[in-house]
Amino acid sequence: MKIAIASDHGGYELKEYLKEHLAKRDIELIDLGTDSAASVDYPAFGRACGEAVANGAADRGIVCCGTGIGISIAANKVKGVRCAVCTNAFMAEMCARHNDANIIAFGGRVTDKEKAAEFADIWLDTPFEGGRHSRRVDALNSM
């Protein structure tokens, strides 16, 4: 599996932590930046991750900013992206199981690093349920 990962300055430390965690799972990573805690604008990084997932360069993506909100909005502007901000284990499971979320977002200023890694693992390990949820995901994809 290949994961694109991106952040702004508010999510930089969390992104770096998640990269180390995911490397232990033998997941191939595409780091789309940023490369420091210097102030940058999150839309560019959310878009870059969204495009990598939408065009098939990556199977899935992870984005991080201060809250996860702004960068998730940016990623969701890319057609074909279903990005969910997750702040607990149930959200991480359900965004995979029911929404087939192909990008997950975290807030570096609001989510503990270890918890974010736990939530990322849940998201990666939870299969899409399909069934009635497929119709809904298809509706999202047609928007």
Can you tell me the distance from the alpha carbon of 50 to that of 64, in angstroms, rounded to the nearest whole number? 12
Catalytic residue among 9, 49, 64, 65: 65
133 catalytic per annotation: no
Report CA 56 to chain centroid distance, whole Å: 15
CA-based Rg of the chain, rounded to a whole angstrom? 14
64 catalytic per annotation: no
Enumerate the β-bridge partners of residue 60.
3
Which DSSP category does 126 fall into? P
Catalytically annotated residues = 65, 98
